[in-house]
Chain A
Amino acid sequence: MDNHFGSHLSVVVDLSPAQWHRAAADRDSPLAVDAFVSQLLAFLNAHIALKHENSLAVFAAFPGKSVMLYASTDPPDRPTPIDPNSYPPFKRLDSTVTARITAQLAADIHPEEPSALVGAITKALCCLSCSSRHCESNLLFLPDINRLSLGHDEASDPRILVLSVSPDLATSYIPIMNSIFSAQKLKITIDACQIFGPDTVFLQQAAHLTGGSYLYLDRRDALLQYLIMSFLPPPPIRKVLAVPTQDRIDFRAACFCHKNIVDIGSCAQSAYPSSASPCPSVPPVEQSSPSKHYSVSMLPVRRPAPQHQTVAGEYTPVSSSSEWDPGHQRI
């Protein structure tokens, strides 16, 4: 299990000012953005420290735009001042990330726009694909010393960790699903951690489909512990560890016409692109099932666990998911 290759980690951080403001004002367990960044930096340092070959890329999703904050392949912007009390790579990472976040926040952003999480994830995918292509000739995400001796990127176990605070954005359903599927194809694990706000279905599905883990944070002040315990070990090591996994994933959908949650819907056998409205005039067909709607574009939602299931005459209570809360049901 222990190979001499490093593992690559891409971290996508959701830095929506509005959501972070709410998170800082949260009554139960407040988490301010500066506390978050310092815990995040500790986690990133831990990843670099874990193995010399480990590589890292950090992306941030701001309202309406996404930015690359740090890549271990990047040449440093300017020579970092030598600090006798800190390890130079840590220092470089910390100063680059904080400097770029500050620069982005100082620039004009429109806080009312939703976070460009999809853009950030897609950029992470593009970077990974580029790097893996370059890896074949010269291993790019690895420090210089190892570039000559190694052969292929397969050992680098690329993964993407998404730290999100925003709720799901219905309009980004299709692009986010597309990026999940391409991650699945490229064998990239997506881990997701919802720090604040309602449970997100998209990230849950992303983690489920790519074999990563999804975590909903109950105690935000323990963020660093959550991160280190469940997201620091690379995927091959997780097989022997008991990392938290999802217990119940809902594949229900919301109908396109009324945005209602349906478990039985009618789906067009063939569909037009969005330019043509799919089937607005179709009257609902009378059915015994009360929840019947037409849906062409499906939007998955989480739903309450049925209290009981009956299978083959048995009457068995279902262990309901602990973190689920009916108040978080959306759309």
Chain B
Amino acid sequence: MPPKHIDDMDIDSDYSDISIELGNISKGRNRKGKATDKRKQDKGKAKAKEQAYTWEASFTRSWDTVQEDEAGSLQTSVEDLMARGRRRRLLAPASAIRRTIIRHLILILDLSSAMMDRDMRPTRFDLMLQYAREFITEWFDQNPLGQIGVVGMRAGLGERIGEMSGNPQEVLKSISDRIKLEPTGEPSLQNAIEIACGTMSHLPTHSSREILIIFGSLTTCDPGNIHDTLESCFKSKVRISVVALAAEMKICRDLCDKTGGQFGVAMNEGHFKDLLFELVPPPAQRAITRTAGTGTTNPAADLMMMGFPTRLPDASPRSLCVCHSEMKSQGFLCPRCLSKVCDVPTDCDICGLMIVSSPHLARSYHHLFPVKPYDAVQNESDILEGSTACHACARPFPTKAAPAKEGLSPVGRYRCPDCHNDFCSECDVFVHDVVHCCPGCGK
């Protein structure tokens, strides 16, 4: 799409905002289809109450979310945000959850003209691409054995952008070219979901099949009844999650609720990212599908053959690899057929064995063995004798008690329920979010 058109759209959206206030006089100016026009007006109505122009939005938002305290410091609002994070973590179920290690995800990107809206900076489209890249990197980091495919919704069609792949570089490359993904036309949920289901239909029934839709439009242009598609998704145990950028739509909500996915409408840029990244950790496996499916009758179907390769040193004699037929010295030896592959995880090209290195498997373990949430020490009388500094970073605790807040410790101490050592709030967050291992008990 030429840049001129983009400017055009910007003017459109501004005028449509004004037209709400001045009465409907801008009809002639809108050179778009009726549906688009209506959508703009809907959006305009919602927004007109707060501000007239989209560019004013970002300023008011930052003032809204952060409140200064009496002393003019932002410390309290930062603490509030942390407390919220702690509460959310405590809400997470502590009981045993069955989680999928090998995941298959189709990422459906909305490439309709609605994505050129500028209610998110710089545009919804650019922001979506940026977050999608971060999402893919993080997703592969936490699900190293998973695979991602990319499908776009553009001009009433679903189009395959990236094939299902376990290599993050390949997936990132497929969405790296912005020009090729230029948004146009109407989206079609049904077409895109059909393509995604088709891509995943050959997968074994016990592997996870997920679809993540980033949806910016308020319309969908489908060739048939989308509820039939929904029904077939439900039958083939595809889990659909939707992150909507505009507003909640009944069909999106239905898609998520019926298939067990998550639905969310992004309020702003940060919330958009939060919604996306909530989908990174592997979902808990549903109990219904386990009992209804073949899982209980045939437990072996839950297990997968995997080979653990030997890495060849860089100084080993050069030989041909089976994947690219290149002369290389480094590589990994398939344990079954002793052929040399370039990279893991992969499927051996000769015998088809799945080759993973054990660190790959271990990377997903922290989802299975989470650190217990620390208890906030509420009273000064609970402080143990002789503990004056954080057990992890050896930074001294504050001596004065702060006013108590929900979820926060007034004395700045958080105690591990197992080893009864005290930690500072920074280390508490770091241990639970990054390290996933308590420094005191080593578990």
Report if A and B associate in a common complex: yes
Please state if A279 and B442 are interface contacts (CB–CB under 8 Å): no
- Among residues of B, the one whose C-beta sits closest to the C-beta of A308 is B338
Please state if A316 and B317 are interface contacts (CB–CB under 8 Å): yes
Q: Does B209 belong to the interface (CB within 8 Å)?
A: no
Q: Which of A247, A264, A272 contacts B96 (CB 8 A)?
A: A272
Please state if B434 and A310 are interface contacts (CB–CB under 8 Å): no
- Among residues of B, the one whose C-beta sits closest to the C-beta of A119 is B442
Please state if B435 and A253 are interface contacts (CB–CB under 8 Å): no
Q: Mark A85-116, 1 if CB is under 8 A from B, else 0.
A: 00000000000000000000000000000001
The answer for the CA separation of A209 and B360 in the assembled complex, in Å, is 11
Which of A22-30, A170-178, A191-199, A222-230 forms part of the interface with chain B? Answer: A170-178
How many interface residues does B have (CB within 8 Å)? 75
- Taking CB atoms and an 8 Å cut-off, the chain A residues in 195-230 that contact chain B are 205, 209
Q: Does A150 belong to the interface (CB within 8 Å)?
A: no
- Taking CB atoms and an 8 Å cut-off, the chain A residues in 262-307 that contact chain B are 262-276, 279, 281-282, 285, 289, 294, 297-300, 303, 305-306
Please state if B358 and A126 are interface contacts (CB–CB under 8 Å): no
Q: Does B66 belong to the interface (CB within 8 Å)?
A: no
Q: Which of B207, B300, B344, B431 contacts A126 (CB 8 A)?
A: B431
Residues of B within 8 A of A253 (CB): 308, 358, 361
B366 to chain A, nearest CB (A): 5
B328 to chain A, nearest CB (A): 10
Q: A182-B434, A265-B306 are in contact. Are A248 and B313 (CB under 8 A)?
A: yes
Q: Which of A129, A248, A250, A272 contacts B368 (CB 8 A)?
A: A272
Q: Does A237 belong to the interface (CB within 8 Å)?
A: no
Q: Mark A300-323, 1 if CB is under 8 A from B, else 0.
A: 100101100111101011110100
Which of B12-20, B153-161, B263-271, B391-399 forms part of the interface with chain A? Answer: B391-399
Q: Does A249 belong to the interface (CB within 8 Å)?
A: yes
How many interface residues does A have (CB within 8 Å)? 77
Please state if A298 and B319 are interface contacts (CB–CB under 8 Å): no
Q: Does A179 belong to the interface (CB within 8 Å)?
A: yes
Please state if A177 and B363 are interface contacts (CB–CB under 8 Å): yes
Please state if A276 and B308 are interface contacts (CB–CB under 8 Å): no
The answer for the CA separation of A66 and B97 in the assembled complex, in Å, is 32
Residues of A within 8 A of B357 (CB): 251
Which of B46-54, B99-107, B124-132 forms part of the interface with chain A? Answer: B99-107
Please state if A122 and B435 are interface contacts (CB–CB under 8 Å): yes
Q: Does A36 belong to the interface (CB within 8 Å)?
A: no
Residues of A within 8 A of B434 (CB): 125, 129, 182, 185-186
Residues of B within 8 A of A119 (CB): 439-442
Please state if A316 and B319 are interface contacts (CB–CB under 8 Å): yes
Please state if B358 and A251 are interface contacts (CB–CB under 8 Å): yes
Residues of B within 8 A of A179 (CB): 435, 437
Please state if A263 and B358 are interface contacts (CB–CB under 8 Å): no
Q: Mark B74-101, 1 if CB is under 8 A from A, else 0.
A: 0000000000000000000000111111
Q: Does A123 belong to the interface (CB within 8 Å)?
A: yes
Residues of A within 8 A of B405 (CB): none
The answer for the CA separation of A94 and B356 in the assembled complex, in Å, is 46
- Among residues of A, the one whose C-beta sits closest to the C-beta of B426 is A130
Q: Which of B100, B304, B336 contacts A267 (CB 8 A)?
A: B304
The answer for the CA separation of A241 and B435 in the assembled complex, in Å, is 31
The answer for the CA separation of A316 and B328 in the assembled complex, in Å, is 13
Most buried by A among B299, B332, B365: B365
Residues of B within 8 A of A263 (CB): 307-309, 335-336
The answer for the CA separation of A189 and B76 in the assembled complex, in Å, is 35
Q: A269-B100, A279-B302, A312-B322 are in contact. Are A126 and B427 (CB under 8 A)?
A: yes
Please state if A298 and B308 are interface contacts (CB–CB under 8 Å): yes
The answer for the CA separation of A173 and B437 in the assembled complex, in Å, is 11
Please state if A174 and B310 are interface contacts (CB–CB under 8 Å): no
Q: Which of B98, B306, B315, B426 contacts A266 (CB 8 A)?
A: B306
Q: Does B443 belong to the interface (CB within 8 Å)?
A: yes
Please state if B437 and A71 are interface contacts (CB–CB under 8 Å): no
Q: Which of B344, B353, B359, B438 contacts A122 (CB 8 A)?
A: B438
B7 to chain A, nearest CB (A): 39
Q: Does A127 belong to the interface (CB within 8 Å)?
A: yes
Q: Does A181 belong to the interface (CB within 8 Å)?
A: yes
The answer for the CA separation of A266 and B315 in the assembled complex, in Å, is 32
Please state if A251 and B363 are interface contacts (CB–CB under 8 Å): no
A55 to chain B, nearest CB (A): 14
Please state if A178 and B436 are interface contacts (CB–CB under 8 Å): yes
The answer for the CA separation of A187 and B101 in the assembled complex, in Å, is 25
Nearest first, the 5 A-B pairs at minimum CB distance are A263-B335, A247-B313, A251-B357, A126-B392, A266-B303
With contacts A264-B308, A282-B303, A311-B338 known, what are 8 further pairs, Cβ within 8 A?
A: A123-B392, A174-B437, A186-B434, A245-B314, A251-B310, A251-B344, A264-B335, A298-B361
19 A–B pairs (Cβ distance < 8 Å), ordered by A: A119-B439, A122-B435, A174-B366, A179-B435, A251-B332, A251-B359, A263-B307, A264-B336, A267-B303, A269-B100, A270-B302, A271-B101, A273-B97, A273-B370, A282-B300, A306-B333, A309-B338, A309-B340, A318-B317
Using a CB–CB distance below 8 Å, which chain A residues touch chain B? Answer: 66, 68, 71, 74, 116, 118-119, 122-123, 125-127, 129-131, 133, 172-175, 177-182, 185-186, 205, 209, 245-253, 262-276, 279, 281-282, 285, 289, 294, 297-300, 303, 305-306, 309-312, 314, 316-319, 321
Using a CB–CB distance below 8 Å, which chain B residues touch chain A? Answer: 96-102, 141, 206-208, 285, 299-300, 302-317, 319-320, 322, 332-333, 335-336, 338-340, 344, 353, 356-359, 361-363, 365-366, 368-370, 390-395, 424, 426-427, 430-431, 434-443
